[in-house]
Structure formats: C-alpha cells, structure tokens
Amino acid sequence: MSDVGDLQDGVDRWIRENGGYWDEMSLLARLVEETGELAREYNHRFGAKKKKVTEKDKAIADEMGDILFILICMANQQGIRLDEALSKVIAKYEIRDAGRFSGN
C-alpha cells in the first residue's frame, strides 16, 4: 500500500465508514494540533526542551504519520490528488529558485 492514490482512497473509505469528514476548519485545526505535537518531539530531540523522565517517547514517525493522515483527509475533501500537487511544487522550485542556488 504505497501508491499515493491508493493511500488517499484507503483513507477515504476508512473515513466514510467511521462517521465521514469533519468540516474544513476543524480538519485544519487538527492539522495544527498534529503539527504542534511534531514540534514538541523535535524540541525534545533536536531543540532545547529538557525531556522529563515520565514523558512517553512518542515517536517522530508517528507524528509524521498523523500529519500525513490529516493532510490526506483535507486533500480528499477538496478533491485534490497529493502526488499531482507535489509534482507542481517540484516544478515550481526548479523554475523559481534556479538562480538562487546557482548564484545567477
């Protein structure tokens, strides 16, 4: 299960079997919540935040999975294919930032 379209379809089925999509602003808030949790893990691992012994080590991979899950929900709701969206980003970078790296 690693084709992006299949992943999006799989999440779509799961969501529809489990109550349907939240409204757009609630999904956005959830994305922010998950981004905050990844920030917390990054601070523990790469930043200055001292980890308390009692805190559970929730893996960075889990938080990234949570973010991707919500992002897929949001994309599905808007009828967006994420692999196409990503292709555009890469095309955009190649044009826009060309001179930025080469020094021209």
- Point out which residues bind its own copies (CB under 8 A): 1-5, 7, 10-11, 14, 18-19, 22-40, 42-43, 45-50, 52, 60-62, 64-69, 71-72, 74-75, 78, 80, 82-90, 92-93, 97, 100-101
Q: From CA 84, how far away is CA 104, in angstroms rounded?
A: 29
Q: String of b and e for 54-72 (b: at least 16 CB within 10 Å)?
A: eeeeeeeeebeebbebbbb
CB of residue 57 to its own copies, shortest distance in Å: 14
Report in angstroms how near the CB of residue 89 gets to its own copies at its nearest: 4
Nearer Cβ to its own copies, position 25 or 57?
Answer: 25
The backbone region for 28, taken as left when phi is positive above 0, alpha when psi lies in -120 to 50, beta otherwise, is: alpha
Smallest distance, Å, CB 102 to its own copies?
9
